[in-house]
Amino acid sequence: MKTNRLLPLVGIGVMLVVVELGAALFGPLMHRAGIVAFEDPSSTANPIIFVLLLLGFTAVLLVLIRFGMRRIIQAIVLLSIGLSFVYIFVALLGIVIADPMIVLGGSSLLGAAAVLVLFWYPEWYVIDLLGLLLAAGVAAIFGTSLGVLPVLLLLVLLAVYDALSVYRTKHMIALAEGVLEQRAPILFVVPKERGYSFIRDGVGPVDDYQPESNGKGGRSALLIGMGDLIMPSILVVSANTFITAPGIGFLNGPALGAIAGSVVGMALLLHFVDKGRAHAGLPPLNGGVILGFLVGCAATGAWAWL
């Protein structure tokens, strides 16, 4: 494999690990700030609620795409991103500022600034840099709000849903293409060539399998869904939050195993993604992170979560 083909693939793998490490660091900050998605982390109803909300949100976006309401889609996506950034900045500013009103005001301004940057200049490196912060923060919120068993159930359900939505109903492909037309930042974009511009060049069809002699496939950039980095990271955070086990640094053994497993799953996914065709990311990613987590539990004897 030539170096120019290898670098984008390595870059995506590095981004996954950065999100996982960032989420693990953000976890205690979210907990201290009282930012939670679910009141009872141990409830197995939480994953069901999560999936139902995801289905509802997806259905709304698909209807808007069907009727050509692209600007409304962009507004919904950017508003959701902005609110997520506000929560993240509340946790971060809370480290150094004691006054809650100042924290909320400052977080709102920073969240609005992030959205404006994404709206006015959605270049690939802007999307990726802010996306790393966003993905780590969101993963931290859900990872500290869901116990290990609910997270495992959630990852299995989402892997099945992702496979069905990409390979059978294909509505996830339609959703990604519809949102990308508005340059809304729901995907990480990794260029394959120097001089690439997301604003100028776009990415072409999401499912675009065009084998070329240089092996680059039919697009000038690799795409990876933001959710594909968030979901494995949720298990990393949950394991690190709710399991007591030996480890290295700020990560315990099960969390380290989860990270290692997710990297293996990502390598398997990228083997297919590099060809240009759209693939469901969560089956290999969630499968890898779960297996790695179980290996970490076996290595440290951390089975109290069962």
Please indicate, yes or no, if residue 166 is contained in any of the structural domains. yes
For the chain, give the mean pLDDT. Answer: 89
- Please give the share of the chain, as a percent, with pLDDT higher than 90: 68
Please indicate, yes or no, if residue 16 is contained in any of the structural domains. yes
Does residue 213 carry a pLDDT above 80?
A: no
pLDDT band at 194 (very low <50, low <70, confident <90, very high): confident
User: Of the given ranges (154-163, 173-182, 211-220, 290-299), which has the lowest mean pLDDT?
Assistant: 211-220
Note the residue count of the chain: 306
The string of pLDDT tens digits covering residues 7-57 is 889 999 999 999 999 999 999 999 999 999 999 999 999 999 999 999 999
Q: Is the dihedral of CA 53, 257, 134, 67 positive or negative?
A: negative
* Per-residue pLDDT at 209: 46
Mean pLDDT throughout 136-147? Answer: 97
Phi, psi of 300 (to 5 degrees): -110, -5
Mean pLDDT throughout 243-254? Answer: 97
Nearest to 242 by CA among 173, 196, 297: 297
The string of pLDDT tens digits covering residues 78-104 is 899 999 999 999 999 999 999 999 999
* Per-residue pLDDT at 218: 55
The string of pLDDT tens digits covering residues 253-262 is 999 999 999 9
Q: Is the dihedral of CA 288, 292, 295, 297 positive or negative?
A: negative
Please indicate, yes or no, if residue 148 is contained in any of the structural domains. yes
Please indicate, yes or no, if residue 248 is contained in any of the structural domains. no
Q: Is the dihedral of CA 174, 122, 140, 106 positive or negative?
A: negative
pLDDT band at 276 (very low <50, low <70, confident <90, very high): low
Name the domain count of the chain. 1
- At 46, the amino acid letter reads N
d(CA 78, CA 60): 15
DSSP 15-29: HHHHHHHHHHHHHHH
Domain containing residue 171: 3-231
Please indicate, yes or no, if residue 296 is contained in any of the structural domains. no
Please indicate, yes or no, if residue 207 is contained in any of the structural domains. yes
d(CA 140, CA 233): 8
* Per-residue pLDDT at 2: 41
- Classify residue 246 by burial, with Cβ atoms within 10 Å: 0-12, 13-18, 19+: exposed
Please indicate, yes or no, if residue 254 is contained in any of the structural domains. no
Please indicate, yes or no, if residue 206 is contained in any of the structural domains. yes
Does residue 245 carry a pLDDT above 80?
A: yes
